Amino acid sequence: MLNDKLFRAWVLLLLFSGISTGVAVMIDRGKTPDDTGWITATAGVIILGLALIKGRIILSRYLGLESTRFWRHGFNLALTLYALVLLGLYLAPFS
């Protein structure tokens, strides 16, 4: 069972989802004065980065793109560009 790629992907998705939830719960949510907002910005960057990794795992393992190099690179490029746009939109108010 531990050698099954889907099972390992599922465990990684659970782990990354737990980390994302932990980061979201642990952020201050603006209850204390934070002049720069770096805690909230860092938490958002971590959560978005984990979402990107989870998306890549789903595309490669569950959809079977790990066996096709062309499609995997294309979807990874599109997903990464989309995540960078979202990151820019998220960080814009903090600057």
Note the pLDDT tens digit of each residue in 60-76.
998 888 889 999 999 99
- What tokens appear for 79 in the block? 């997903």
Taking a C-beta distance cutoff of 8 angstroms, is the pair 41, 91 a contact?
yes
pLDDT of residue 88: 95
Provide the 10 A C-beta neighbour count for residue 41: 18
- What tokens appear for 81 in the block? 């560009």
Separation CA 75–CA 89 (nearest Å): 21
Q: Is 52's pLDDT higher than 90? A: yes
pTM: 0.85
State pLDDT tens for residues 74-83. Answer: 999 999 999 9
Closest by Cα among 14, 22, 89, 1 to 54: 14
